[in-house]
Amino acid sequence: MDSVTNWNPVWSPDGKFLYFVSDKNGKQIAFASDCNGIYQIFTVDVDGTNLKQITFADGQGASSPVWSSDGKRMAFTSRSTPYVIDLTKSWQEQTPREIKIGDEKSRFSVWDWSSDGKKLLGAFADDDTRSLGYYSLETNHFEKVLEVSDAIPSWLSDSRHFIYAFDNKIFIADIETKKHEN
C-alpha cells in the first residue's frame, strides 16, 4: 500500500471544514487527477466526510493554503509562486491569479489575509534581503514594511497592523508608518 502524506491543516473561517495539503492518489477521490506524489489542496468536513480535491496545479502542485476572511477565496503556493483562487468556482471554471512581486529571484510567502479582504501579508525574500510586507490585491503592488528574517506575521483585525515574533519577542508593526515596537 502506498503511503500518503497529509500536512498543513487550516480551518475554514466558519469552522465547518478543514483544508489540508496531501499527495493522495487521485483515484481515491471523485473527479480527481492522479497526484502521484505531487501535493494538492483538499477539503474535508469536520466529521471526516465529503473529501474533495480543490487544486489541480501542474508541476510542483499546490501547498500553503491561506483563507480570505469571508471564506470565498484562497491563496496557495505553487512552484514558489503565490496564487489566488475563487472558492465559489471549480478549478476548471477559473484561472488562478498569479501574485507577481518582482523579478524571478524574488519570493513571497503568504501567511495571512487581511480581514478587509484587500491584502496578503507575508515574508519577502530575494538574494540580498528578508522582509515582511504585504501585497495589495487592489493595486497589484507589493510593499515591504520592515526587514526581518525568519518571522511569521499575522494581521490584526484593523488590516493596518500585524504582529510577528522575532528574537523571543512579540512585535506589532504598522503598514502605513512602517514602524514597529514590542
Report if pTM > 0.75. yes
Can you tell me whether residue 92 is helix, strand or coil?
helix
pLDDT, averaged in runs of 10, over the chain (182 residues): 73 90 58 57 92 86 91 90 94 92 80 96 86 94 89 95 94 96 90
87 C-beta neighbours (distance < 10 Å), count: 17
Q: How large is the greatest C-alpha to C-alpha distance in the chain, in angstroms?
A: 55
Are residues 173 and 161 in contact, defined by beta-carbon separation less than 8 angstroms? yes
Domain ranges of the chain: 1-69, 99-182
Distance CA 41, CA 32 (A): 11
